[in-house]
A and B are shown apart, each in its own frame.
Chain A
Amino acid sequence: MKKTLLSAAIGAAVLGFAASAASAATLDDVKAKGFVQCGVNTGLAGFAQPDSSGNWKGFDVDYCKAVAAAVFGDATKVKYTPTTAQSRFTALQSGEVDLLVRNTTWTISRDTALGFNFRYVNYYDGQGFMVPKSLNVKSALELSGAAVCVQSGTTTELNLADYFKANKLEYKPVVFEKLEEVNAAYQAGRCDVYTTDQSGLYSLRLGLSNPDDHVILPEIISKEPLGPAVRQGDDKWFDIVSWAGYAMVQAEEFGITQANVDEMKNSTNPDVRRFLGVEKDTKIGTDLGLTNEWAYNIVKGVGNYGEVFERNIGSNTPLKIQRGLNALWSKGGLQYAPPIR
């Protein structure tokens, strides 16, 4: 409730001041400054996290780098602003950051009332369930009568109620204010099921004393499409941020990786040649206000979508998140890029 009121207040304030917000050509500003100012999470496992030497790493961070690579041909020309859940929208609206890549769910109210633009989803998340293996539960539909640990005042709690009601199942919510309390309660066995966003469940499982004794159920009961956001009113910048994301998906589809991108320039496939900016008379970059090598620079600088996914959150990382919905459309997932031609 508090959170709703707060976001409503911020929303109203943002709306009221939207007229004064920076709407000038962000691309020109960025080029003049020489770097992209990117709003990221203050610390989320696998998505945005400084390493031991203080450099930001993570899935969302690589999207900031991709935009820098597209604009400057250099993925390192990024400066990061860590933003909290509350301050992220102000930071974007007031022009403190040029784009926001902070596991932000794309919703209609953010797209319209808050005055932001979303176009693509870099990670399809959704609310999931974790249960101890010993319960022998294979599906959330078998959870009738379970005690469910959940954080109060979140959309998670509402989604949970909706899901159980829709499926005519009984459940007993065990509600806590703080996330740490929910973790502790689940560990202590005060509830049978833990529910939060699936990406969160994976990192949470790592912190349990017996990670292998817990299993994350396949059901996803809510849609949480996470993606980069920019201010409304600057379509050119919006295009650049959007296509930087699409280019990574497209590169995976073509099989272009960070390692083979130079070889691929010699490819005979006209689609690939156009994508990498080596086809004659192509205008795929200049129309965006960039060079024709922008997509090449992205792949060279950060890699394709699959590489970014595997490097930060995939099966070789401690998080071990499966591609699932985030697989390419050709492999049963939802990641789909419009043609780049």
Chain B
Amino acid sequence: MSDNKFNYVRGEMLPQQPAPLAARSVSGWIRTNLLATPKDVILTILALAVLIAILPGALNWLFVQASWLGSDRSVCATTVQGGIQPDGWHGACWAFVKDRFVQFIFGRYPIEERWRPILTLIMFVVLLVPLLMPKSPRKGLNAILLFIVFPIIAFFLLHGGAFGLERVETPRWGGLMVTLILSFVGIAVSFPLGTLLALGRRSQMPVIKTLSVTFIEVVRGVPLITVLFMANVMLPLFLPTGWTIDNFLRALVAVALFASAYMAEVIRGGLQAIPKGQSEGADSLGLSYWQKMRLIILPQAIKLVIPGIVNTFIGMFKDTSLVSIIGMFDFLNTIRLNFTDTTWITPVTPITGLVFAGFIYWIFCFSMSRYSAFMERHLDVAHKR
């Protein structure tokens, strides 16, 4: 065999070996991730100590001691409080959440009409899910359906007063439904309006630029709570007799305008990060201003600021709970309203209600955050930078 004269050199590749046991076993994972250095060891022990201190108590309160079934306060109150639980009992009152769950979702929406918000929600999910999946086709049509056709149908469906549907005034709306409507309108309005404002602020035309800057700075300079309060308490006095603007509409407009101002600044950040060469390249191709923005600048700029955009959305989602100060019942306020209800008033009711509210808010915010992380990976922004 003369073709391999160096017989100390291997003639063929070795088959791949699995990683050493130390790296792939559970103990290996623990060693590398939790106990790699003395500092890690100390932190791990501290974290474990905190978990051991908190977790059993929390689980016990949340599940073991919790009261699950019942229709009034007696199941969540101890005998001295007029209930059935033994002395010293302390646990979550899930029976309260169960009894009032439908109210938490729909507020005081009439029971026999509740198929309407449910149908609206189904339509929303059916339109939203394909839009969120990068692979599904016909994005443009889908977006038009969701952001233009759907709001119109949803308005008539929820509000009624046409097509033989009974009118349901907005004071009867409430719960998670109100929170979601405020957030959806906020997002659907703030994204396009914010983009326009950001472009306006960078525009060379003095009138447009001044208008954009004024709008953004005025809105950002006033707390949302003040605007809601003014719209609720002062506005009716300035309107002619017999004129009332729906309370819910006032809140919708306020939330949408606020979100737009913040969104404008986030998108402007993205626009400024795009090198001038991109714009000049587009100009040299003979693209018009709108073509340039739509095809070259905005796709890159918006990709860059996805975390900021989602941050604004999450902030706005939580800010919707401010409408409670103008006597509107969003999700949080609907729950709080029930704390003083004599049917359920007990020492554990408020804590349970707030834990539940926190959990629902967390689910929504966490899903938004995960989706944005997924989109970032999908669009591969971090990789290119």
Contact = CB atoms under 8 A, between A and B. Distances in A.
A116 B336 CA distance: 31
A213 B81 CA distance: 10
Given A81-B171, A87-B327, A45 B234 contact: no
Nearest to A39: B327
A65 B247 CA distance: 23
Interface residues of B, number: 47
A14 B233 CA distance: 10
Contacts of B111: 53-54
Contact of A54 (B110, B169, B325, B347): B110
B237 A94 contact: yes
Contacts of A319: 342
A96 interface: yes
Interface string A202-233: 01001111111100000000000000000000
A333 interface: no
A13 interface: yes
B208 to A, nearest CB: 36
A54 B81 contact: no
Interface string B316-352: 0000000001110100010011001111011101100
B223 to A, nearest CB: 15
B241 A87 contact: no
Most chain A CB inside 10 Å of its own CB: which residue of B236, B240, B326: B236
B109 interface: yes
A10 interface: yes
B212 interface: no
Given A49-B337, A211-B82, A13 B237 contact: yes
B107 A317 contact: no
Nearest to B88: A209
A55 B103 CA distance: 10
Contact of B229 (A54, A86, A96, A206): A86
Contacts of B367: none
Contacts of A134: none
B234 A90 contact: yes
Contacts of B327: 42, 81-84, 87
A99 to B, nearest CB: 16
A20 interface: yes
Contacts of B172: 54
A49 B340 contact: yes
A174 B217 CA distance: 42
Nearest to B347: A209
Interface in A10-40: 10, 13-14, 16-17, 20-22
15 contacts: A22-B241, A43-B341, A49-B342, A50-B103, A56-B108, A86-B229, A90-B236, A93-B236, A94-B241, A207-B346, A207-B347, A209-B347, A211-B81, A318-B342, A319-B342
A110 interface: no
Given A206-B346, A207-B345, A318-B82, A84 B326 contact: yes
A95 B242 CA distance: 7
Contacts of A203: 340, 342, 345
A51 interface: yes
A79 B343 contact: no
A167 interface: no
B201 interface: no
Nearest to B229: A86
B330 to A, nearest CB: 12
A79 B169 contact: yes
Interface string B191-210: 00000000000000000000
B236 A91 contact: yes
Given A43-B337, A45-B345, A93 B237 contact: yes
Across the A-B interface, give the 6 residue pairs with the lowest CB-CB distance, nearest first: A54-B108, A94-B236, A43-B337, A45-B340, A318-B342, A17-B237
A161 to B, nearest CB: 28
A169 interface: no
B77 to A, nearest CB: 9
Interface in B33-89: 73, 78, 80-82
A56 to B, nearest CB: 8
Nearest to B334: A50
A79 B171 contact: yes
Contacts of B102: 52
Interface of A: 10, 13-14, 16-17, 20-22, 42-46, 49-56, 79-84, 86-87, 90-91, 93-96, 203, 206-213, 317-319
Most chain A CB inside 10 Å of its own CB: which residue of B169, B172, B244, B347: B347
Most chain B CB inside 10 Å of its own CB: which residue of A13, A46, A82: A82
Contacts of A80: 171
Contacts of B110: 54
Contacts of A84: 232, 325-327
Contacts of A93: 236-237
B241 A95 contact: yes
B233 A87 contact: yes
A52 B237 contact: no
Contact of B100 (A52, A82, A209): A52
B99 interface: yes
A84 B322 CA distance: 13
A22 to B, nearest CB: 5
Most chain A CB inside 10 Å of its own CB: which residue of B102, B111, B342: B342
A206 B342 contact: yes
Contacts of B171: 79-82
Given A22-B242, A43-B341, A209-B81, 13 more contacts: A20-B241, A45-B340, A55-B108, A56-B108, A87-B233, A90-B234, A94-B237, A206-B342, A206-B345, A213-B80, A318-B82, A318-B342, A318-B343
A154 B63 CA distance: 40
Contacts of B21: none
A320 to B, nearest CB: 10
Most chain B CB inside 10 Å of its own CB: which residue of A54, A91, A96: A54
Given A206-B345, A209-B347, A86 B244 contact: no
A51 B343 contact: yes
Given A81-B171, A82-B327, A45 B241 contact: no
B239 interface: yes
Contacts of B340: 43-45, 49, 203
A13 B230 CA distance: 12
A319 to B, nearest CB: 6
Nearest to A96: B244
